[in-house]
Amino acid sequence: MRLCINIDHIATLRQARLESEPDPVLAAGICELAGADGIVCHLREDRRHILDRDVHILKQTVKTKLDLEMAATDEMVKIACDVMPYMATLVPEKRQELTTEGGLDLAAAELKVSAAIEKLKDAGIKTSVFIEPDPESVDLAIEMGADMIEIHTGKFARLKDPLEIINELEKIRQTSKIAKELGMGVNAGHGLNYLNITAIANISEIDEVSIGHSIIARAVFTGIENAVKDMLNIIRRIRQ
């Protein structure tokens, strides 16, 4: 299972002072040196953390693969087609939210998401859609032409009741299995940390996880290299 690191929170710290450091580009390089399989950044409409400059430089410097997380808007599709990241993950975006709050409602946003997927694919960019763990969304993602899904693990990560956790994990497992059987790439992310990653890594159909907050939070105390290696060690104990 691949580990991709979301570096948005390095940029959040920079933007707290509107200064030039810490630089998420440098952070991305250290993540890669520590063994990360990819770098993720979310260029939000309000540019609250990652800036256009970051995305352009990351495209030049990232040696693994760059996943541009983005809303399915004309502006973002145009930027993606200019930058040409390895892949784009389409997410719902609300201005007031602290972070992405849930998966895309593909039925409601069908036209917008399909149009974005078509343009991204025409440009040669792989596409992933961020969805809740439910098989109907997998069918819609396939109909829309997405190459991959990313299953939203935020609810699983927040739950406290053991039975509810088991139920949510089962939904993630079933959705992963169905998507894999239908030939899709299966990614997962949101709210994953050094404890709950074990349950997710045990779902063999999940190809890749995208983790930001917990790794950058640990890095404040241990450094980015150790924070990435600690997560990789846990994953590698379960998966190759």
The catalytic residue among 42, 152, 205, 208 is 42
The nearer residue to ligand PXP, 100 or 175, going by C-beta atoms, is 100
- Footprint of ligand PXP (CB under 6 A): 6, 8, 42, 69, 89, 91, 99-100, 130, 150, 189-192, 210-214
69 is annotated as an active-site residue: yes
Strand-pairing partners, residue 87, are: 67, 126
Q: Which is nearer to ligand PXP, 64 or 163 (CB)?
A: 64
- Smaller CB separation from ligand PXP, 89 or 137: 89
Shortest CB 53 distance to ligand PXP, Å: 19
DSSP string, 95-144: TT-SS--S---TTTTHHHHHHHHHHHHHHT-EEEEEE-S-HHHHHHHHHT
In whole angstroms, how close is the CB of 80 to ligand PXP at the nearest point? 15
For the question of residue 42 being annotated catalytic, the response is: yes
Question: Running DSSP on this structure, what letter comes out for residue 227?
Answer: H
The SS3 call for residue 109 is coil
> CB neighbours (10 Å) of residue 98?
7
Question: What CA–CA distance (Å, rounded) separates 41 from 54?
Answer: 9
**Closer residue to ligand PXP in complex, CB, 48/59:** 48
Q: Which of 9, 32, 69, 208 is catalytic?
A: 69
Burial class (CB within 10 angstroms; exposed 0-12, middle 13-18, buried 19+) of 58: buried
Active-site hit among 49, 190, 205, 208: 190
Least distance to ligand PXP from the beta carbon of 42, Å?
A: 5
- Only one residue has tokens 């299953």, namely 151
**Whether residue 92 has a cis bond before it, omega within 30° of 0:** no
Cβ closer to ligand PXP: 99 or 226?
99
Q: What are phi and psi of 40, to 5 degrees?
A: -120, 140
In Å, what is the CA distance from 185 to each residue of 31, 177, 180?
23, 11, 7
Positions annotated as catalytic residues are 42, 69, 190
